[in-house]
Amino acid sequence: MKTYDFRPSESEIEIKTLGKSKHDTRIVPVAHRTSFFELIFIESGQGKFKIDFKDVIRQQGDIFAILPNQVKEFDFSDSYHGKMILFTYNFFAISENDSSFLYSSEFLSLNNPSRIVKIDENLTNQIFYLLENELQKKDDNYQSTICQSLLRTLLLICERKLNESTRPFATNITKQFFNLVEKNFTSNRNIDFYVGQLGVSENRLANEVKSACNLTLKKYIDNRLLLEAKRLLKYSTLSAKEIAFELGFDDTSNFSNWFKKQTGKTPMQFR
């Protein structure tokens, strides 16, 4: 399985069309992941996607995000049309507030990804039009800031719409825990490490995480590690030994025993 980055020569934001021209826009037709965000708007029809082993259906008017490192397969039928914005963390995180938004957003949540919102389609089309128009101009000292402002506006509208319809699922401490796990789950599965990094008591953190996702701290960390193990077993050619090493296990037997405890299958049975 390949992970795709933005090409060094390109701006770190790009708009692609989803529809009859899907094959002409460098959309990858096999399971893959990217190091950047993908914001997808379904303009018409119905699209079927596979994201981290789950089949998801998106309808006309839906906006959803695919987060960095999620494994996905695109629907290449012509049953839907839409647009997608590709952007990197570095492009969006101009200020500390921008960085904080990416890590605290309900819409871009690591724990509850691919959430759907519906906002006014005319407004969405207008923002996409303005972005496309700006990106077609010659690059200057203003283009990046203008594009980031338009993207921020769209994401904030999605965030507001989501919070109008659902109760925020996590506190700030919980979101910090989720993001800390994302950065460290292969190198540290020790609960004391996360408690120490966050500067809170284990009981408080455990209660808040339990309230957000009905999981213990250990189970949350194990689930994140398990997702990565499944991704590598299903979509890579790495051996069990190589996967064990990449995920931070001392040897293959420890990894195999841990995986079987989580799933009831050995790594090779799952593969």
| Dihedral of alpha carbons 49, 171, 37, 234, sign | negative
Residues 266, 260 contacting (CB under 8 angstroms): yes
For the segment(s) 3-165, the CATH number from 3.90.180.10, 1.10.340.30, 2.60.120.280, 3.30.200.20 is: 2.60.120.280
137-196: pLDDT as tens digits: 988 889 999 999 999 999 999 999 888 766 666 677 888 898 899 889 999 999 999 999
Q: What are the beta bridge partners of residue 59?
A: 46
Contacts of residue 244, defined as CB under 8 A and 6 or more positions apart, other chains included, come to 251, 252, 254, 255, 256
Residues 6+ apart with CB under 8 A from 159: 105, 106, 107
The pLDDT confidence band at residue 9, using thresholds 50, 70 and 90, is low
- List every span in the chain annotated with CATH 1.10.10.60: 172-270
pTM for this model (two decimals):
0.79
Token pair of 14 as six digits: 């790009």
Q: For the domain with range 172-270, which CATH number is right: 3.40.50.360, 3.30.413.10, 1.10.10.60, 3.40.50.720?
A: 1.10.10.60
Residue 20: pLDDT above 60?
no
What pLDDT is stored for residue 168 in this prediction?
60
Tokens of 78: 């012509």
Structure tokens at 252: 């293959």
- For the chain, residues classed under CATH 2.60.120.280 are 3-165
Q: What is the pLDDT of residue 262?
A: 93
- Which helix (H) or strand (E) segment holds residue 56: the answer is strand 54-59
CA dihedral 204, 248, 88, 68 (to 10 degrees): -80
DSSP assignment of 139-165: P-TTHHHHHHHHHHHHHHHHHHHHHHH
Percent of the chain with pLDDT over 90: 47
- The three-point CA angle 71-179-148 to 5° equals 75
Residue 208, phi then psi, degrees to nearest 5: -70, -40
